[in-house]
Amino acid sequence: MEFRAVHIGKSYGDRMVLKDVSYHFCEGRLYVIKGVSGCGKTTFLNILGGIEKEHEGEVVFDQPEASGQIRIGYLFQKSLLLSSLTVEENLRLICSDAEKIYALCDMCGVSRLLARRPEQLSGGERQRISVVRALLTDPQLLLCDEPTASLDGVNSEKIAALIAEQKQAGRIIIVATHDHCFDALADEILQLDYGTLLPAKENDHALQELLPEPQKSGDTFPPEEPAAAEGAKAPGGRMNKPYGLNPFRYVLRRRPGLFSFGSLFALVFGLLLVILTSTVRTNFSREYQRILLRGYPTDLVIYYRFNLATFPEQYRSIITFYKDLHASEDNVEAMYLPVRKASVLIIEGMIPYGRFPNRADEVLASPEYAEAKFPGMDFNEVVGQKIRFCGLDLTISGVMVPDTDKELQINYHNDVYYHTWYRHRTTREILLIPYETLEKIGTDEDNSFQVAYVPNLAEDAVMLQAFMDFLKSNPNQYYSEMRKAERQVERVSGNITKLMTMTVGIICAFMIAVVSADLSYRRRELGYLQIFGVPKKTVVKLVFTEYLMRVLASLILAVVIGLLLITAYRLIFGAWLFPEARYTTRMCLGIVAAFLLTVFAAIRLFLRRSIMRLIH
C-alpha cells in the first residue's frame, strides 16, 4: 500500500503556502512533519486527508486490492469531543460496534472513563479518547495535527507512544508537530520550510526498543479490566449493546433548548389555528343552534297559503296549520297564539310582566288594553285579572310591552301576526288568545301568509328538507340565521385556510435561510463529525431529527392547548367541542409535511458545502 503526494501546490491569495510538494509515504511507517507555526503543516495534512479540495497537483493512494476509498483517521490538537455527551456517546456517534469500542478503550487505557463527560477528564485523557475515536474507522492513514501541543511533557510522551504503536497494524501515520516527543519514534522526519519540503531524515531503530513498557514505567496508563463480553456490564457501568447513539437521544442531550416556547411558537400557532378552525367548522351549527333556541321558534313555519296544495300529503298529518283567526269587540282585537314552541313570544323580554299562557283560558294583553281596562294599575297588578271577551271568561297571564329592539326582532322573524299587533298597537287594544280558544269565536281573515306548527322540525332533517323544497326558502328566520351563519363560517374558514396556505408558503420560502443561519452556528461541529467518520447522511439524519422533534413537540403542545380551551368551554358553556378529524388531519399533515420538506432541503443544501468551509 502506497500513498503519494504529487506536485502539491496551494496558495491563499498572493501568499504561496505549499510549493510543488511531492512525497511517497509507505505503510507501517511514522512520518513526522516539522516546522514553525504557519509554515503550511496543517494545510498539507488537510490536502492529504481530502479536506482541502482546492489545490494544485494530486494525492494518489495505491493499494493492491480494490477496496474503495481510503479510510482516514484524524487527531487534532484539541479533542473536539461533544461536551453534552458522555465519552461512550461520543464514540457511538462514530461506530455502532460496542465490542470494538471497548476493545480500543481497553487498549488505550480509558475504559473506566466511558460514563464521564469530556469536562470531567484531564487533557491527556481527552486526547487518548481522541485516539480511540480516530481508530474506530480502522484507518489506513492516520493524520495527526499537533496532537500533543496542549499537553504537558509526560502526557505528550504517552500520546506519542500510543500513536506510534499504530504503525504495527500497517497504517501510514503522518504527524505534523513542532514538538520533539515524536523524534525518536519517527521513521522519517520531514522539514517543511514555508511551503518547501526539505529532504527527509530517517531514523534507523527498532520500534519496540523505544516504546515505553506499561508494566514497568511509573508514567504508564493505569491497569484496565478486560473488555466486557456481549450483554455484560462494560467498564463505566454501561451495557455492551451493539447499537449506535440514538438520534433522538443525541438531540435531547445536544440541544436542551430545542423545545423552548419561543422556538415552537410559530408552528404551535399554525397547528392550533387549524385545530380551532376545524372545531368551529364542526361544532358551530350545534352550538349556534343551542344559542338561537333560547330566542327563536324552530318549529314555526311561515308559508304562502295558495301553495299549500303542493305540500307533500304524507307530512300533513303531523303538522298543525293555523288559520288567520281574528275576533273583535268594543275596539278590542284578538289574534291567536300558537303553541309555545311556534311563538316568537318565547324570546326573552317579550313578556316583561307575567308569563306565556299555559291554559286555554289564559291570554296576553297589550299595554293599551291593560291601561284602558285597568286604569291606574301597575302592569304587575294586571297579571291575574279576570276579563270577559266575546262571551268567554279569560285570565290575563301576562302583559306585553312595546320595545324597539323587540319590534325589530319580530319584524326580522317575518311573523305577520305579531307584526300587525305592533303596527296597530297605538290605535287598537290587543289580546292574544290561544288558538284552540279563539277557534270558538274567531273568523278566518284569509291572509296570504299563514303559519304552521311542525313538531321537532329542527331535529327531523327529512322533514326540514321537504319544507325547504316546498317553500323554496328557509321555513323561518331561525333557519335563515343558521344558514347565514354557516355560510359565514364556511367563508371565514375558507379564508383562514387560504391565509394559512399563503403563510406556510411564505414561511417555507424563508425556512432555508433560517435553517442555514441556525446551522451556521454549528458548522464546525457538523464538519468535524464528518472528518471523524460520521457519514454525511447520518449528519443530515441527526440535524433533521432535531426539527422532527420540534414538530412533534409543537403538535403535542398545540393539542394540549386545544384540549385546555375545549375543557374551558365545557366548564363555561356546558358543551364538549371536538375538531373534525379529517379536516384537522389533512391540514396539520400539510403544514408538517411542508415544514419538514423545506427543512430537509435546507439541511441538504447547507451540507453541500465542503468540509473546509464548515470548519473554517
- How confident is the model over 105-146, as pLDDT tens digits? 999 989 999 999 999 999 999 999 999 999 999 999 999 999
Section 389-402 average pLDDT: 89
Residue 546 grid cell: 432535531
pTM of the full structure: 0.66
Residues whose CB is less than 8 angstroms from the CB of residue 142 and which lie 6 or more positions away in sequence, other chains included: 72, 73, 74, 75, 134, 135, 163, 166, 171, 172, 173, 174
pLDDT digits (tens, 9 = 90+) for 2-34: 789 999 999 988 888 999 999 999 999 999 999
Count other C-beta atoms under 10 Å from residue 362's C-beta.
20
174 vs 256: which has the higher pLDDT: 174
The pLDDT of residue 117 is 92
The pLDDT of residue 347 is 72
The pLDDT of residue 186 is 92
What type of residue is 445?
A: E
Least reliable range by pLDDT among 157-166, 194-203, 238-247: 238-247
pLDDT digits (tens, 9 = 90+) for 36-88: 888 889 999 999 998 998 999 999 987 655 556 788 999 999 999 988 889 99
Section 374-394 average pLDDT: 94
Domain ranges of the chain: 2-246, 257-285+483-615, 300-472
Contact 141, 48 (CB under 8 A): yes
Could you give the percent of the chain with pLDDT greater than 70?
Answer: 83
Average pLDDT of the chain is: 81
**How far apart, in whole angstroms, are the C-alpha atoms of residue 558 and residue 324?**
57
Q: What is the 3-state secondary structure (H, E, C) of 482-544?
A: HHHHHHHHHHHHHHHHHHHHHHHHHHHHHHHHHHHHHHHCCHHHHHHHHHCCCCHHHHHHHHH
Q: What pLDDT band is residue 426 in, cutting at 50, 70 and 90?
A: low
The pLDDT of residue 84 is 86
CATH superfamily of 2-246: P-loop containing nucleotide triphosphate hydrolases (3.40.50.300)
